[in-house]
Amino acid sequence: MHHIIIGAGPGGVVAAETIRKTNPNDQITLIGNEPAPPYSRMAIPYLLVDDIKEEGTFLRSSDHYHQQSIEYLQANVTGIDADAKTCELSDGSSLAYDQLCIATGSTPISPPINGIDLPNVHSCWTLEDARQILSLAKPQSRVVLMGAGFIGCIILESLVKRKVNLSVIEMGSRMVPRMLDEKAGGLLKKWCVDDGVGVYTSTKVNAIEEADDGMNVILDNGANIKADLVISATGVKSNTTFVKDSGLDIDHGILVNNKMQTNLPNIYAVGDVAQGMDFSTGEYTVQAIQPTATDHGRIAALNMAGKNAEHSGSLNMNILDTLGLISTSYGLWMGVEGGDTAEIYTPELFKYMNLRFGINDEADVLVGATTIGMTEHVGVLRGLIESKVHLGHWKQRLIDDPMRIMDAYVASTQELDNVV
């Protein structure tokens, strides 16, 4: 049995390892197209502040794949032939598979504006991008960050730590609009502004122009910000181009069922390239987050290895550390119509917590949450949402004091009321 995994990010690596653990004798080939061992993009911000070297971003040690009998191949896959069960490589050769897993991730979107292709405009996605940013983001450099989304905010801290003169431009009405609500996004903005970062929300970049002393970043409000470096972090899209003629069903990403199977036999897709089931909505979306990628990788691998593994969707969740202010959001953080809410909001302490409950049978079930300024036991928010624990009388207690979330979790899961 030969398993081919295209893409060596976390989803692909976990898939390869899970197959190996399940079926010790199967042949496994892991294909990556970057000139580096498998690495994690999540680690790039820490590379940018010199917390780690490039090796620190690598997934697993250098001899790990050899030890696991996983063949790691550096190659570009240009297409797949589902009927012939082969992958085509850029050198013209092809590789035959029995089971195929597509884990090719996503790439940054380049906004269609003049000047986006100037030499000192970069995205922050690959190790090569990181190297460029490292060379340009010097102390006192003028840096404009386009996009205060999740990725923008992750690198924001790195840039501040590099002591650059930073401005952040976000089209949305608040920071991280796809992860944080008004209050949370507002707190985050205030936190950044207090720390000397220029944050412009509801603002678009119209164009980037070359100038004698760097670049002019022209905003839609007419303002002009001088920049030595522009970083574009305006979103990502799934890497599906190479399979567009393969017969795979593709929407935003490759459509998969709850076993991570595509519409074609023996082909799976995981991670940022896959449009999988969302736990909270039951709808199929591209989540593009690390925990979903590894969950996908595991589910796909078990099925590829002949087990029967299903999931009932991946929970969308995020955690951000922006200049020391930690924010999280989970599931239906925006709430559901008719569902109750428990909230504390203390802007002077930069603390915020918002719990969202379901409706009907799930009126006492947590379906989403947002936190600002909380680090202890945040994982239980996932636990409570995914395990659909009925909180019973703890719901009212949480409405009275959402900070008791861990108490609610422990009491509900350890059935303390029954202990005598």
Partner 1 sequence: MSWTRKILRVNLTEGTCTPEPLNMEWAKQYLGQRGLATKYLVEETDPNVDALSPENLFIMATGPLTGTMASTGGRYSVITKSPLTGAIACSNSGGFIGNEFKNAGLDMIIFEGKSPSPVYLYIENDKAELKPADDLWGKSAWEADEMIHAKHQDPNIKIAVVGRPAEEGCLYSAVINDLHRAAGRSGVGTVMASKNLKAVAVRGTLGVGGVDQPQEFFEAVNAGKKVLADNAVTGEGLPAYGTQVLMNVINGVGGLPARNMRDVGFEGAENISAEAMNEPRASDGKPNLTTNGACFGCTIACGRISTVDKTHFSVKDKPQYHGASGGLEYEAAWSLGADTGVDDLDALTYVNFICNEDGLDPISFGCTVAAAMELYEEGQISNDETGGIDLRFGSAEALVACVEAVVSGTDFGKTLGMGSKLLCEKYGKPELSMTVKGQEFPAYDPRGIQGIGLAYATSNRGACHLRGYTIASEILGIPVKTEQADSDGKPELVKAFQDATAVVDSAGLCVFTTFAWGMEDIAPQIDAACEGDWSIDKCLEAGERIWNMERQYNNAAGFTADDDTLPKRLLKEAIKSGPTEGQVSKLGEMLPVYYEVRGWTPQGVPTAETLSRLGLS
Partner 2 sequence: MQKSLHLDPAKCTGCLQCEMACSYEKLGEFNPSRSVIKVFTFHEEGRFAPYTCTQCDEAWCLRACPVDAITMDLTSGAKIVIDDKCVGCKVCTISCPFGTVNYVQETGKVAKCDLCGGDPECAKACPTDAITWIDANATGYDRMKAFAEKSLPSANTSA
Look at the alpha carbons of 397, 403, 404, 409 in this order and tell me if their dihedral is positive or negative: positive
Task: Return the SS3 of 372.
Answer: strand
Neighbour tally for 155: CB within 10 Å = 23
Query: Residue 305 CB, nearest distance to partner 2 (Å)?
Result: 10
Choose which of 240, 262, 275, 294 interacts with partner 2 (CB under 8 A). 294
**Cα 46 from Cα 41, distance rounded (Å):** 10
Task: Return the SS3 of 217.
Answer: strand
Q: Are strands 165-169 and 142-146 parallel, antiparallel or unpaired?
A: parallel
Q: Does 404 bind partner 1 (CB under 8 A)?
A: yes
Choose which of 64, 226, 259, 351 interacts with partner 1 (CB under 8 A). 351
Residues whose CB is less than 8 angstroms from the CB of residue 55 and which lie 6 or more positions away in sequence, other chains included:
none
Residue 346 binds which entry of partner 1, partner 2, none, with Cβ cut-offs from 5 to 8 Å by kind? partner 1
Residue 51 binds which entry of partner 1, partner 2, none, with Cβ cut-offs from 5 to 8 Å by kind? partner 2
Q: Does 54 bind partner 2 (CB under 8 A)?
A: no
Choose which of 84, 193, 211, 416 interacts with partner 2 (CB under 8 A). 416
Query: Please, which of residues 312-341 interact with partner 2 by CB under 8 A?
Result: 312-315, 317-319, 321, 326, 328, 330
Question: In one letter, which amino acid is 71?
Answer: E
Residue 328 binds which entry of partner 2, partner 1, none, with Cβ cut-offs from 5 to 8 Å by kind? partner 2
Look at the alpha carbons of 138, 143, 148, 150 in this order and tell me if their dihedral is positive or negative: negative
Overall residue count recorded for the chain in this entry? 420
**Cα 324 from Cα 67, distance rounded (Å):** 39
Q: Does 344 bind partner 1 (CB under 8 A)?
A: yes
**Cα 391 from Cα 326, distance rounded (Å):** 26
**Cα 379 from Cα 406, distance rounded (Å):** 10
Q: Pattern of binders to partner 2 over 253-292, x per CB under 8 A?
A: --------------------------x----------xx-
Radius of gyration of the chain (CA): 23
Q: Does 381 bind partner 2 (CB under 8 A)?
A: yes
Stretch in the footprint of partner 2 (CB under 8 A) among 57-65, 87-95, 178-186, 212-220? 57-65
Task: Return the SS3 of 96.
Answer: strand
**Cα 212 from Cα 51, distance rounded (Å):** 34
Q: Does 403 bind partner 2 (CB under 8 A)?
A: no
Contacts with partner 1, residue ranges (CB under 8 A):
344, 346, 349, 351, 401, 403-404
Contacts with partner 2, residue ranges (CB under 8 A):
10, 14, 40-43, 45-46, 51-52, 56-61, 279, 290-291, 294-295, 298-299, 302, 307-315, 317-319, 321, 326, 328, 330, 375-383, 386-389, 406-407, 409-411, 413-417, 419-420
